[in-house]
Amino acid sequence: MSGKVWKYITEKLASDGALHFTLLDPDPLTTNIDEVVQLAKISERAGSDAIMIGGSTIFGYIDESVKAMTEAVDIPTILFPGNITGVSAEADAMFFMSLLNSTNQYWIIGAQALGAPGIKMSEIETISMAYLMVAPGKTASWVGDAKPFPRDKPKIPLMYALAAELIGFKLIYLEAGSGADGGGVPSEMISMITQFSNVPVISGGGFNTVEDVVRGVEAGASIVVQGTYVEKNALADNGEGLKKRVAGLKAAGAKRV
Ligand code: 1GP
């Protein structure tokens, strides 16, 4: 499948102004396949535009859960691999990412090189994405040997984002780390990058409330990702809270169309 998910993303961005992605981590230590499948279905019903699948710490093989989620929903499933262990041919696409502000070349190009032959042979659609770590960065920052950007210094990630654009990445991901406090990546950081770069910004890490999500879009993010909020609440309230967050995001996005 070549380019289908990227086409979906760009066309939906043009019509809606902003997209909501749900991040699910099929980690058998904390969840099971039935639960992640259920969460994927609830997220689709709540209006989320895609399911991202991944995590920084991988316990076990992910093929079975990726396959089950992909079969369960009509929205795209997109791998968000934390390492070569997060690769599967069972998703609709994968973010082919480089952690540009890592201090360790393994996370910039080493893992990518190790994964590339199998990924190329599997013919899964890849979407190149510059992964930029913002403080606190949490587990992803620790695992990825990152030097996370200070939250009050937007010019530093701006330089990285412009370099990412010139290299040719299709997306720029501003990541504060799963479960981060602070309501997501600071608005000044998102707006400074989106003011100077045309590459769509996707942002996650601590966006929990309706206000957080709306603020991310108003600052200029094209895609806001929610993981922890969905994992903690969507089963209990059958996606009602998520529905409100997606509605807030879409209302903010509509103002940009
Ligand atoms: C983590 O950005 C994602 O990689 C999502 O973060 O779990 O805090 O929503 P949350």
**Boundaries of domain holding 29:** 4-254
Q: How far is the CA of 177 from the centre of ligand 1 (A)?
A: 6
Nearest atom in ligand 1 to 230's CA = 9
The SS3 call for residue 45 is helix
CA of 124 to the centre of ligand 1 (A): 24
Domain count, the chain: 1
Cut 0.75: pTM above it: yes
Closest CA to 20 of 171, 207, 172: 207
Task: Find, among 203, 200, 189, the residue nearest to 157 by Cα.
Answer: 189
Q: Is 86 in the pocket of ligand 1 (CB under 6 A)?
A: no
pLDDT at residue number 2:
56
pLDDT per position in the chain (257 positions), as tens? 459 999 999 999 999 999 999 999 998 888 999 999 999 999 999 999 999 999 877 676 689 999 999 999 999 999 999 999 899 999 999 999 999 999 999 999 999 999 999 999 999 999 999 999 999 999 999 999 999 999 999 999 999 999 999 999 999 999 999 999 999 999 999 999 999 999 999 999 999 999 999 999 999 999 999 999 999 999 999 999 999 999 999 999 999 99
CATH code: domain of residue 14: 3.20.20.390
Is the CB of 233 inside a 6 Å radius of any atom of ligand 1? no
- Give the gyration radius of the chain's Cα atoms: 17
Tell me, using a 6 A CB cutoff, whether residue 229 lines ligand 1: yes
- State if residue 227 touches ligand 1 by the CB under 6 angstroms criterion: yes
Q: Is the CB of 226 under 6 A from ligand 1?
A: yes
